[in-house]
Amino acid sequence: MGYKSFACMTIALVGNGRLSAVLAQGLAIAGHEVLVGIRENDKIMFDFLLDEFENIQVMHVEEAAAAADLIIMATQPELVREMAYLLDDVRRKVILDITGIHHNGTGNYFNTVNAIKSITGSPFVVKCFNTRGFEIVSTPATRDNTINMFVAGDNKKAKETAKVIARDLGFADSHDFGGIDAVPLLDEMALCYHNLAAQDKKGEKIAIKITKS
């Protein structure tokens, strides 16, 4: 049995932006049930996908999290705390934090993984998918060489889940970046990616690829 058929899950995707849209599409194509979790008064930004995919639904974030096997935090980093409080009891669920890096305005770094762990009580939280742009997530395997993904956190189960999701989305090998103490370093890598994207004027159409000599 292939990993896709074995690992098809119900996934709560918390977020309502472009990244959420391409993730929802990619996960639905891979065969997962995708529950897009939004706040009560939010207007869904990609309702066109609902007509195309029967396995994508939109509901309140609390309902999505309750029904899901896996939760992906794809919201803006400044909304992480608010959205995490809306998840209710998810202490036994794997949570993938794919949010970008955020400074609180005083120069201090905001560790979204620690915030999610503290609020939800889940020990199964890892950082991943943050060293890329949304355009790369939508078409990772359409290039000559598929790109790599990196994951950091303390829980092995959560890391393995992230690797399965990465394969389903068409990424190449996922690399273990270390424990929870390596999350800030992974976020710094994300800053390097965004700086290079801006300086080289290629937007979000570049990615990081590891090669071996």
Evaluate whether residue 15 is within a structural domain: yes
**pLDDT 10s digits, 150-205:** 999 999 999 999 999 988 888 878 889 999 999 888 888 877 776 776 666 666 66
We report the CATH number of the domain holding residue 63 as 3.40.50.720
Evaluate whether residue 207 is within a structural domain: no
**pLDDT 10s digits, 17-41:** 888 888 999 999 999 999 999 998 8
Check residue 202 and give its pLDDT.
62
Evaluate whether residue 20 is within a structural domain: yes
Tokens representing residue 107 in the block: 């120069």
Evaluate whether residue 82 is within a structural domain: yes
User: Taking all residues of the chain, what is their mean pLDDT, rounded to a whole number?
Assistant: 83
Query: How does strand 56-60 pair with strand 33-38?
Result: parallel
- Judge contact between 31 and 11, C-beta under 8 A: no
How many distinct structural domains can be found in the chain?
1
H runs (alpha helix) in 39-129: 48-52, 61-67, 80-85, 112-120
Check residue 3 and give its pLDDT.
40
Q: What angle do CA 121, 40, 26 make, to 5 degrees?
A: 75
Evaluate whether residue 22 is within a structural domain: yes
Q: Is the pTM of this model over 0.75?
A: yes
Evaluate whether residue 180 is within a structural domain: yes
Q: Which domain holds residue 110?
A: 3-199
- Judge contact between 35 and 13, C-beta under 8 A: yes
Evaluate whether residue 153 is within a structural domain: yes
**pLDDT 10s digits, 111-129:** 899 999 999 999 999 999 8
Evaluate whether residue 205 is within a structural domain: no
